[in-house]
Amino acid sequence: MVATRRQSGVVPRPSAKMREAAAASGAGAKAPHYEFMGPPGAFAIVIGLPAVCYGLVLFCNADACVALDALPSAVPSAPASMPYFTWEACGVFLGWMAYCVALHVILPGVTKRGVELPDKTRLTYKLNGMRVLLVTAALVGAGTWTGALDLGWVHANFLALLTAACAFAFAASIALYVSSFARGKLLARGGNTGNHLYDFFIGRELNPRVGAFDLKVFCELTPGLIGWLLLDLGFARKQYATTGAVSPAMALVCGFQALYVVDALWFEPAILTTMDVTTDGFGWMLCFGDLVWVPFTYSLQARYVLERPQALSAPHLALILLVKLVGYWMFRGSNSQKNLFRTDPSDPRVASLRYLPTKRGTRLLVDGWWGVARHVNYLGDWLMAWAWCLPCGFDHLVPYFYVVYFGVLLVHRDLRDGEACAEKYGRDWDKYCAIVKYRLVPYLY
C-alpha cells in the first residue's frame, strides 16, 4: 500500500462539516422504514443464521443425514472427531485473516473509483483479489506437493473453524458499530434508525476504512470467497487421501464453485456498483455473510459428497453440465453486457441495444439480455446453484439447502432493488417495468 492518500489516488475524505451538511440533507437521516421485519427480524437473523450454519453440520454429517420427515424428532449431533472449538482452529482463522490483509496491502492492484456517495464524494478502491488468489493457489499447491501442508485438516476441524469465524464476525461487527459513532462518519441511510440492535445488524457506517483500506470491499471478495474455495479443496484432498481418488461428483462441485470464485475476482470492479457497496452499511449482516455464511454454507455440497459419496450416471452427468453451461452463459452474458453498456455504450456489441432514457440523465437497457427480465442475471445465478447441488444425488434434501435459500434471497434482493429503483427513477421506473414485464423468470415471474 502506498504511503499517502494523494499517492494512492484516494479522494480526500470530506470534513466533519461537510458530512454534517450531508446528514442534514438526508444522507444520514433516519430510515423511512425497516427491512427484514425490523428489530425483531434482525434479532431472529442474528440468532438464526449461526444456528443454521451449525445445523447443516449437525443434521447431516458422516455419521447420519436426517431425512426431512424425521427432522421434528431428530437429535442433532456432531461426529466425535469434529470438535466445536480448538485454539488451533482459532489461530488458523486469525492467521488466514491476517494473511489476506497482508497480501492485499503488499501486492499491487488496480485502482478504481466508486460511484458518487451521498456526500458527493467518490472513493478510490484498490482491487487485487485475483492476485491474492493466484499467490494463495501457488502456496497451497507447493505446500501440498511437498507435504508441508495437509489441506484435508479442514474437514476434522470444520466446526472449530466455524466457531472461530463466528466469534471473529461478531467481534468485528461490534467494533464496526462502536466506531461508527466517531465524529465525521458517513452513515448508510438505512443503518441510522436509532435502534441499536437493528443498526448493528444492518450496518451503520457506509464505508468504514482504515486509511485507504476499505474494510467492506475487502471482506466482500477476498477472505470469504477464497476461504470457501480452500474449504472445497480441503474436502477434495481428504477424499483423495481416504480413497486414492477424487470422485466425479467432487470434481464437478469443486470445479463449478472454483469457476464462480475466479469469475467474481476476475470481474472484481463490478462489485463497486452493487447495492452492498453503494447503499448498505457494513454491519453484522455483511460481515457475517462475507466471512461465515459464504465459506461455511456454500461449501456444503463438497463436504456432503466427501461424507456421502455419490455415483453419477452418464445422463445425470450430462444434465448437470447442461444446467451449469446454460446458467453461466446467462449469468456472465447478461452481466458483461450491462457492464459494457455502462462503461462504453458506443461499443459495437451494445451500441444497437434499445434503452429508456430517464430524467436523471441515465439510461435503462430494455433490449438484449435485459429485455428478457429485469434481473435475468439472477436467473442464471440460480441455475448455477442447481448445478452445484445436483452432483449430491437425491437421497437427502440437506445438500439442496443452498438452492432453496438462494432462490428466496434472489427474490428478496429483486424486491429490494425494485423498491430502490422506484424511488430513484420515479415514473421512469414505471415505464421501464411496462416494457420489461418480468422480474426474474420470463413468463412466470
> pLDDT digit string (tens) for 384-434?
999 999 999 988 888 998 899 889 888 888 888 888 888 888 898 999 899
The DSSP bridge partners found for residue 210 are: 213
**Dihedral sign, CA of 277, 281, 283, 286?**
negative
Provide the pairing of β-strand 213-214 with 355-357: unpaired
44-98 pLDDT tens trace: 999 999 999 999 999 899 888 877 666 666 677 788 889 999 999 999 999 999 9
168-215 pLDDT tens trace: 999 999 999 999 999 889 999 888 899 999 999 999 999 999 999 999
Q: Name the residue ranges covered by the structural domains of the chain.
A: 5-310, 312-445
pLDDT number for residue 29 = 45
The cell numbers describing 333, all together, are 452474458
**Dihedral sign, CA of 380, 383, 385, 388?**
negative
If we measure between CA atoms, which residue out of 358, 369, 375 comes closest to residue 415?
375
Question: 381: Cβ–Cβ under 8 A, 6 or more apart, which residues?
Answer: 327, 331, 406, 410
> Are 212 and 10 contacting, i.e. CB atoms less than 8 angstroms apart?
yes
pTM of the model: 0.84
The DSSP bridge partners found for residue 357 are: 363
CA dist., res. 380 & res. 263, Å (int): 14
